[in-house]
Chains A and B, each alone.
Chain A
Amino acid sequence: MFKAIGKKLMWVATLSSVASLGYANCSAFESEAEAFEGIVPKFNEDGSIRSLSMYGEGTFLVAKRSLMSDARRKAELSARRAFSEFITSDFSASTIASSLIETSQNTDQDGNTTGSADELESTLNLMKNDSSAVMSGVVKLDECVDAEGKYLLVRMGWKPEFSRAAAGAAGVMAESAKSSGREDAKRSKVEPASGYRKKSSLADDF
């Protein structure tokens, strides 16, 4: 009887180890991400602000789907909170702009510096004045799960167009942008016990 139980346990252990091998699919995400903390700005060639990205992270102890869902929710909330804190902070727009310019010097290969400051500052002021419209324009762009490392990363993003549209009378564009992003987010399904990456078609435009 003990032999039979032992055999069964061995099978369970073997299946478990095969399942835990998984596929680490966050390496591409991580190599593309410029930071895991704070806000990452991108600029157009004319120095105007193109988009802002923020990252969130969630961890799970075992690759159980409900735990991964919790981790995803935490990661999204964390990224949104970072964005919310950023736009509602007491720092003046010019201070934030300078700080972001410093960040952009590190991240932007074109080396946009002072030319972007005025544009960025005015954009930040607009964002502060209508933070709820800005928050509603935040969409999920990318997500990956590393089943082996037991963590999950998400990238959320915002573009000025989204906010302008949201602030418009009809708000049609904002709703369209928002819903298109959210639909993408809802479509991402978790494959149990293996890593994956789900990138929104919007991401390349950010």
Chain B
Amino acid sequence: MPTISLALCEELSRVGTADDGTFFVSCKSTFSKPQYLITEYYAGGERNSFVSFRDGRYGFMCSAKDNARDCISMPRGALDFKTFEVKAGLEGVIEDIKTATKRYQGIPADYSYPRSARAAKAQGCYLRVYGEERLVFGFDQERLHSASSCLVAFERYLAGNKSLLLK
């Protein structure tokens, strides 16, 4: 029987009077599929980011320093667009961001990040949660590093909606 360790995100920040705050965000996948690890660091005008995403034989790692990004995919590919079981009773979908408009025009979600298809395309990913039954991730194969914002959003959502964990 699969066990769920409550991973979610850990965040620490130090906010100054000017734009010189320091922010650390560290998130780890709560569910076993897919597995990911994200670290983000912001200080002054500097940003350091790392994302590791693993879904069976598919996956990628991305590192970003300010606007310079570097990603490497696994030999089989970075993303496997598919429907899978996250846990009993919870279906997961990983799909291409190209379907964003269709997805947003479809059944209304209980939680959507971001709120519009246009913003999703600009951001490079989306997350839609349908009750406690279904969650949909939309990722961009050309902008893998963008996936991190939606994965962080998902872990933050889980932190405030534990029913999804406890179901």
Instruction: State whether the Cβ of B131 lies closer than 8 Å to any Cβ in chain A.
Output: no
Cβ–Cβ < 8 Å partners of B40 in chain A: 61-62
Q: Which of A20, A36, A58, A65 contacts B19 (CB 8 A)?
A: A65
Complexed CA–CA distance, A55 and B122 (Å): 14
Instruction: State whether the Cβ of B99 lies closer than 8 Å to any Cβ in chain A.
Output: no
Instruction: State whether the Cβ of A7 lies closer than 8 Å to any Cβ in chain B.
Output: no
A side interface size, CB within 8 A = 30
Interface residues on B, range: 20 to 34
- In the complex, the answer to whether A57 meets B115 with C-beta atoms within 8 Å is yes
CB distance from B84 to the nearest CB of A (A): 26
Q: Mark A157-199, 1 if CB is under 8 A from B, else 0.
A: 0000000000000000000000000000000000011000000
- In the complex, the answer to whether B21 meets A64 with C-beta atoms within 8 Å is yes
Q: Which of A59, A64, A193 contacts B114 (CB 8 A)?
A: A59
Q: Mark A88-107, 1 if CB is under 8 A from B, else 0.
A: 00000000000000000000
- In the complex, the answer to whether A61 meets B119 with C-beta atoms within 8 Å is no
- In the complex, the answer to whether A55 meets B149 with C-beta atoms within 8 Å is no
Instruction: State whether the Cβ of B48 lies closer than 8 Å to any Cβ in chain A.
Output: no
CB distance from B151 to the nearest CB of A (A): 11
Binds A, one of B9-17, B28-36, B55-63: B9-17
Cβ–Cβ < 8 Å partners of A56 in chain B: 118-119
29 contacts between A and B (CB under 8 A): A9-B12, A12-B14, A13-B12, A20-B11, A20-B13, A36-B116, A36-B119, A37-B104, A55-B116, A56-B119, A57-B118, A59-B149, A59-B153, A61-B40, A61-B42, A61-B152, A62-B11, A62-B23, A62-B40, A62-B42, A64-B21, A64-B23, A64-B42, A65-B19, A66-B19, A75-B119, A78-B122, A150-B153, A151-B115
